[in-house]
Each structure stands twice: as C-alpha cells, then as structure tokens.
C-alpha cells in the first residue's frame, strides 16, 4: 500500500470541551546529586522557596505527602507547590519563569527546550504508565500494523502522540502512515461509534466507552514499560545555582514514596484529598501506573534505556508533524549520568 504523508484532518468534534484528567493535556548534576547523595537533617532552611508546578495526576501526589508529613521542612527546604490545572499550564508557568520546576512528560520537556529555549533537567522519573494508556481500534483491526492508512483520533499537544508513535514503531510504521484526526479525548467515543475514526489513542474513562462500543485494545502502555513517563524537572540555571536543594527536594519525594508503601491508607487519603476524589477513585487510577523507586532511576535513564528509546521515537513523530524544530538527545536533559550509573550499583 502507498505510504501516507502525516495528514491531520479537521474534526467535527473540535469544539467539544475536554474533561480529561489534566495530566494528559497540552505539558547533569541535578539528577546525579538528587539521586546519589544523602541529606543532612540539620540543613539550614533555604531563604528562597522552591516554586514547583504540579497538575492533577497521582504521580505527583507524593509531593503533597512530603509537604503534609513535613519532609521538605526537615530537609531544610521551603517549598511552594503551585497546583495548576494541566501539564500545559505547568509548562507555560515553567517557560515564563514563574516556577523553578514542574511535573512533566517527555512531550513538555521537548517543547520547553524547543519553543522556549530552556534547559529542562530531569531530576527524577516519578512514574510510568503501565497499561492505562491505550490504542483502541475497531473490531476489524488486529494490531498496530492494521492502522496503515486508517483515521486515528488523537488529542493534539499531549502524550497521545508518544503512545501512537510507540505503537506504530512496533509494526515498523510511523505517524506518516496514518491519518491523524485531532479532537479532545471526551469526543472520541462518539467519533468512534459514528465510524468517523477507525482507532483512538486514549485512557479511562473514554477507553472504556470505546471498548463497550465494540472496540478492542490493539496496543497499550504496558507493552512498553518505562517509556511513557512522568518526571520532576528543573530549569538548568536553577540546578546550577541550587543543586543541593534539588537533591533535597527529590529525596523528600522518595521519602514520601517510602511512606506510601508502608502506610498506604494515610498516604492515599492525603493524595485523594489533594485531587478532590475518593480514595477508591485514586486507587483505580494508580492501578494503571507504576511509581518508580530511587533504585530504578539509573536503569530507566541509562543510554539505550526505555526513556531514551521513547524520547527518540517521540521526537521523530513530533518532527514529522512540525511540532519541533530540531532533534535532541536524552543527555541534553541529564547531568553526570555516569554518577547516576554508579548510584545504581551502590544503592
């Protein structure tokens, strides 16, 4: 069959308001020091607060556990968690210098570097999608290879493009081989039921509606473990000035993760209150993701590892859609990666 150019169709659902979980919307010393070195309990409190933008996604909720349990204060930090409505809003605050760091996916990291000329530095990977994100196709599609030449619903400016690129790569295809139909995720069930698209990139609850309409999962994030990630990111200049504070911030986050493992009821209660949802809803959401421990960081971020593979495939897709002007490598977003590898051997 002929190879298609990356055609982006207009959508009859483009004016439908989106009600997605906002995490999915338009989003070398720092990493090493934050992961390798320990903290002293008697550090003086920094005079300037760290301003860190978050959005409603459970991967970032342990930051609120760290705040409520006093872990930032005990680490000598004054921290202002700026709770915004989406990854896109967090990225914009980061680009404007209104915050020192933010929660981000690889999409936001690449856009901040390319469009704003910043130097985002990954301080830690906090979680990765483990089946929550998926490509749902009509009953006649057996797998990603069958997407060639088909109309695929995707929400622009989100990590949807990342998952689609990974799905297509598994069948030796690219986004140039499909017809992209942009729309908010909550419009996808109707478009799929009306036969306007053959597949959609989505996650619950919309993915459940597609499955109820006869769709089938033809690819999901659990097939690419460690590649659809959420991270804690700081601007490079801030890392240069306050590397020890970045170290302390991430250590407090991991202390909160440890607390969550040992005290899930209390931790989940804090997290659910922060998100304005029930504990049951929170637990249903986190069932599709995996929190990343301190020990797992080096393997995920190693040369040729899951994050680098995903970044490269994502960039290819975004470049082909003219969403990026130039290509970058993972090392542009990391500092002293050899020290991180050493930490993995000694932790």
Q: Which residue has the tokens 């967090």?
A: 90
Q: How many Å apart are CA 65 and CA 175, to the nearest integer? A: 39
336 within a domain of the structure (yes/no): yes
Q: Which of 198, 223, 248 is the last residue of a domain?
A: 223
Residue segments in the chain with a per-residue pLDDT below the cut of 50: 1-42, 336-347
Q: Six-digit token pair at 188?
A: 């996808």
Give me the pLDDT at residue 46, please.
62
Give me the pLDDT at residue 44, please.
59
Same domain, yes or no: 253 and 201: no
**Residues whose CB is less than 8 angstroms from the CB of residue 309 and which lie 6 or more positions away in sequence, other chains included:** 227
1 within a domain of the structure (yes/no): no
Count of structural domains within the chain: 2
Q: Write down the H helix ranges in 135-242.
A: 160-169, 188-193, 206-212, 236-241
Q: How many Å apart are CA 86 and CA 139, to the nearest integer? A: 33
2 within a domain of the structure (yes/no): no
Same domain, yes or no: 63 and 100: yes
**Domain span including residue 104:** 22-128+226-346
Same domain, yes or no: 166 and 45: no
Looking at residue 59, which CATH number applies to its domain? Answer: 3.40.190.10
Give me the pLDDT at residue 43, please.
53
Same domain, yes or no: 251 and 148: no
Same domain, yes or no: 258 and 277: yes
Same domain, yes or no: 123 and 82: yes
Q: Which of 164, 191, 223 is the last residue of a domain?
A: 223
Q: Six-digit token pair at 277?
A: 């949802």
49 within a domain of the structure (yes/no): yes
Same domain, yes or no: 86 and 234: yes
The H or E element containing residue 289 is: strand 289-291
Instruction: Give the total residue count for the chain.
Output: 347
Same domain, yes or no: 312 and 231: yes
Q: How many Å apart are CA 37 and CA 218, to the nearest integer? A: 43
- On average, the pLDDT of the chain sits at 84
271 within a domain of the structure (yes/no): yes
Give me the pLDDT at residue 172, please.
97
Q: What is the pLDDT of residues 126-152, one digit of tens each?
A: 999 999 899 999 989 999 999 999 999
Same domain, yes or no: 116 and 233: yes
Same domain, yes or no: 147 and 198: yes
Q: Six-digit token pair at 63?
A: 């930051």
Same domain, yes or no: 190 and 85: no
209 within a domain of the structure (yes/no): yes
Give me the pLDDT at residue 281, please.
87
Same domain, yes or no: 157 and 29: no
């Amino acid at each position: 069959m002929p190879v298609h150019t990356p055609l982006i169709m207009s959508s009859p659902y483009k004016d439908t308001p989106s009600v997605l979980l906002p995490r999915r919307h338009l989003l070398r010393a720092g990493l090493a020091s934050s992961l390798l070195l320990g903290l002293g309990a008697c550090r003086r409190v920094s005079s300037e607060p760290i301003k860190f933008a978050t959005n409603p996604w459970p991967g970032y909720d342990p930051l609120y556990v760290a705040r409520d349990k006093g872990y930032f204060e005990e680490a000598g930090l004054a921290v202002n968690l700026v709770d915004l409505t989406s990854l896109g809003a967090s990225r914009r605050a980061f680009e404007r210098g209104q915050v020192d760091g933010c929660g981000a996916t690889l999409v936001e990291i690449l856009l901040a570097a390319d469009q704003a000329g910043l130097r985002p530095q990954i301080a830690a990977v906090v979680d990765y999608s483990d089946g929550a994100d998926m490509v749902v196709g009509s009953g006649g599609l057996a797998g990603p290879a069958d997407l060639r030449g088909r109309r695929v619903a995707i929400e622009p400016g989100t990590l949807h493009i990342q998952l689609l690129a990974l799905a297509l790569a598994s069948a030796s295809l690219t986004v140039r081989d499909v017809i992209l139909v942009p729309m908010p995720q909550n419009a996808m069930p109707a478009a799929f039921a009306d036969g306007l698209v053959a597949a959609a990139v989505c996650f619950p609850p919309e993915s459940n509606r597609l499955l109820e309409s006869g769709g089938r999962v033809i690819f999901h994030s659990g097939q690419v473990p460690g590649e659809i990630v959420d991270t804690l990111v700081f601007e490079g200049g801030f890392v240069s000035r306050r590397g020890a504070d970045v170290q302390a911030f991430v250590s407090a986050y991991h202390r909160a993760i440890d607390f969550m493992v040992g005290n899930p009821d209390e931790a989940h209660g804090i997290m659910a209150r922060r998100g304005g949802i029930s504990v049951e809803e929170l637990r249903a959401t986190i069932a599709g993701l995996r929190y990343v421990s301190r020990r797992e960081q080096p393997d995920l971020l190693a040369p040729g590892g899951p994050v680098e593979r995903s970044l490269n495939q994502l960039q290819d897709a975004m470049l082909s859609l003219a969403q990026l002007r130039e290509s970058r490598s993972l090392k542009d977003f990391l500092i002293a990666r050899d020290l991180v590898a050493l930490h993995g051997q000694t932790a």
